[in-house]
Structure 1
């Protein structure tokens, strides 16, 4: 029997088109032609100018032979050029590969070769790095210099960005991709071991992630967004497209320095910004030490580990309202949000911090978020106790890993995306991550969450950063070891003071048995490299003292 809701009711150009975030710029240029779209050091662009520049660049790229599914890489700071590439490159159906500016030459070379990059835009500040990266490449990409400083050398390239914009057709008629499943971006993970994996995004996911993140962060046409989050990191969590979608203003920032951040917040009346915990900690510490506070509140979306309650309190005092987001490169950045509930308003500061430190519920384009038991893979009960792996499925998950079918199959095993994060599900349906699977500490048969210990360490008034890893122990198998960076490194470090503080604020068996002071090693995206801390302990053969390791639990 024919389906009456299908017969003669077909897709046609009037009722269906592929979703792509490039359409956001077309719309905002129509709705807000004279509104400031981008504020940068060298120019301020209206939405009309922004759109015409992107079309002109797409025209020039087309003339150079860039076509659909070609990879175009960009090695650049958070400037208007990288933002424009988020539109000009996909206008041709080509794939944007925003490169991490903190990578070493060997990793850059791997990415350029693995992604088969055909064209590379680069800020001239990176010319020495780029020369090393492309040395020995069989098919190096064509290079186009982004000249941001007068007199800067661009001997590596005869082409420059602004010349291509000037030579292009600002009325270039770009076409939407025919299939919204087509790739729009290629982002590489910041893995702590081995080569990074190439994560492929599609137009549909980018479109939905942009709208989802704008809604989660309550963004409107009045939003003024400061680019403290690297645009190379998950395409700026899709805010490269989200701000444009709502018709807000992008405020660019080449390098995150506290005085520059404060100046732009005050001058441009910034309303929103994002960053990793390391960025927030730096700003809070520097603002506190200089006695500075914000003249009006700024919403700060924080990625990474849940913010400890002292950080939330300090942020509120300075003027930042914290929104905790959780996600991965594979999920276009944010995939969960700790949605505010009105009944939380009556909670104490500490109880509220515990509520808001949870990862929460799936964002709008995530269909399902669950915790899978570690033993049999079944869904864990919502008891806040049963530990399992956080899994999810929905529209804002990657297509897969480029040229790595085995890793892609494993990531999507059982019809869910496997995050690799250990979590519990609370009775209200809010998820809370306890640790990375590899970071859980099993001591005498008890599971100790390194994040729980770190939460306590961050409450200590002298602690700036903390990381906890497993340390071999003769009796308990392994015990926690804390690596701590102090706010004032010139002050004397006191290991017993830190250990005693932890024991006074948590079960004593969870407290670190050893504390190592000093700067913490980080990945190129600011994550603490716990693998290096483990290696350091292994090389030192460092376990807790015999006296410590035989203490009662």
Structure 2
């Protein structure tokens, strides 16, 4: 039965002619990693071995991989206890020949990535200086070259500034100038984008290619040879990685600059330290149980926190395998989620995406699969039993998408909350039981190490509720311990809402070269998120951006996100954006841009208002409605509502809803 279903699905995907998976065949390189080549990575810092002593070695003297990894782990633990930071490229040594990245062109092990990063880091250090904390802007596609450039930048002791080929030239120029880049690193296939910028601003540029990643074969020169340069020297008292900085350097250094999406002005460079990243890695891998047994499907842009840290840095740090797709394509993602014509080792266990991606996957499912009961049964069984976790973030998840995805896959999407400046702060639980569940429209509770508080709107001194997530506490693990540290506030007896503040080791260090803007975003050490949040029945929820999503109309304070969520339940509405328009009488009036499922048929406003009576209060219903074919969103599915207000000034007059 299941064999027949699998063939049916295979036939569909073969027809799709998917370019990025090589027609369903496994992408494999002619790569043989033997014990001899693997041990070439390491030196145990013993006395030199000459030919005479080498010939006298016994089996007991040979390199022991298991013992070596144990010793390396112990050394990492010692350095961490001594307040050092071990960056991801160093942790790659723990996973050796294990595959780190599979992309459209092949597979790359952790060992090869490490050696490739070391090789590229020499070029970077020759220009910037070793450990100079210079800004290195790099432009790479969503494949192994991105990881190579990122690791090499950190290996050299510089600050990584990722760029996106999707950005217009003017924006790329702004980033390069704003961070005062010392060097540009570019994948060869994107030379046409970045080289003109390098020439315009007289910046040095180097190119990265897949050939920078060395092969690990029987012919590799042994790094244990006293005439060869040792890559890693490990003794009882010391660990030296040639060309890299020590753990104390990373504990005190900046790691990365990510730029905000610029919805409220020019993008700001958010400075994240290696300590920030280390805290985030520890928090997420603990809360979401990410480890070296995971295979993560990566389809996200690599210039935002979600794609860079959640989707790439965290999994690789603990030895997970990444399958990186060059871009999102619904049929391609379904191919990987269902493991069509792929080896078992490529079976996906973890998937992270934004609400827009889940919505597009649902549309593809409804178009291709929904009428075939055998396929729908197979898809739900496979996803529910073979994929352990699916996560949504970066934009509000409509309840309709949450419910429909559960119907299709048996997965309750884990929704979380974060932003570039704070990393991930709140999350629904990984484990689901009678005491814990993933509730649509909520973002759960504070992640490990993160402190969260809601204050009275406009009055940061009046704290309504404060909570702190703890590693190993009951919300995240199967142990009978308190969920949170003791808080000054008892559990509220009724729903509350107010301004959301975050504090903890994941919160960014500063905005690059903007000390005044940095200062005004903090109140007594707490970062002011600019979001309005609610708390009810033990869970936090995001009501929206205080500046654009909280609508003050006629004495009422309304959440645009909640109105959007309810309107999306209407069967004829595909997408909607609710925003505030200035009004002399009411202060603001509720307006809506609506995308109909059937573009040829607009919804009757009287019918929509009648339908909404059981969903939202009458004063929340939009008084101005405009139909449109598309609501523009950025790469992470976020809507710039300030720009949307311009939609109401175009020629076609909006519809005034009946009062």
| Cα shift readout 1:274-314 (whole Å, capped 9, x = no counterpart) | 12211111112212221163633332211134423321121
| Cα shift readout 1:403-445 (whole Å, capped 9, x = no counterpart) | 00011101122210110000123353x3221111112111111
SS of aligned partner of 2:622: coil
| Mean Cα deviation higher: 462-471 or 180-189 | 462-471
* Counterpart check, 1:281 vs 2:359: yes
| Cα shift readout 1:428-486 (whole Å, capped 9, x = no counterpart) | 3x322111111211111101110110111221223332210013445433222111223
Give the structure-1-normalised TM-score.
0.84
Contact 1:100 1:524 in 2 (8 A): no
2: CA distance, partners of 1:537 / 1:329: 30
SS of aligned partner of 2:631: coil
**What residue number does 1:161 align with?**
209
1:341 deviates by 6.0
SS of aligned partner of 1:263: helix
| Cα shift readout 1:361-396 (whole Å, capped 9, x = no counterpart) | 211131x10002124221025455443111010000
1:37 deviates by 1.6
| Mean Cα deviation higher: 269-278 or 374-383 | 374-383
2: CA distance, partners of 1:437 / 1:296: 37
* Counterpart check, 1:343 vs 2:440: no
1:539 to 1:373, Cα distance in 2 relative to 1, 3 A:
farther
**What residue number does 1:533 align with?**
644
**What residue number does 1:190 align with?**
261
SS of aligned partner of 2:316: helix
1:90 deviates by 0.8
**What residue number does 1:477 align with?**
587
| Mean Cα deviation higher: 237-246 or 432-441 | 237-246
2: CA distance, partners of 1:375 / 1:436: 14
Contact 1:76 1:122 in 2 (8 A): yes
**What residue number does 1:424 align with?**
534
* Counterpart check, 1:259 vs 2:331: yes
| Cα shift readout 1:257-282 (whole Å, capped 9, x = no counterpart) | 01111222313211112122111111
Unpaired segments ≥5 residues, structure 1: 1-11, 145-159, 346-351
1:207 deviates by 1.2
Contact 2:626 2:655 in 1 (8 A): no
Contact 1:119 1:141 in 2 (8 A): yes
* Counterpart check, 1:79 vs 2:189: no
SS of aligned partner of 1:379: strand
SS of aligned partner of 1:387: strand
Unpaired segments ≥5 residues, structure 2: 1-77, 216-228, 232-240, 370-375, 466-491
1:314 to 1:344, Cα distance in 2 relative to 1, 3 A:
farther
For the aligned residues, what is the CA RMSD? 2.8
1:178 deviates by 2.6
Which is greater in Rg? Answer: 2
**What residue number does 1:405 align with?**
515
SS of aligned partner of 2:459: coil
| Cα shift readout 1:192-250 (whole Å, capped 9, x = no counterpart) | 24210000000111112112112222222221101122222126234422212322111
Contact 2:633 2:639 in 1 (8 A): yes
SS of aligned partner of 1:423: strand
Contact 1:502 1:512 in 2 (8 A): no
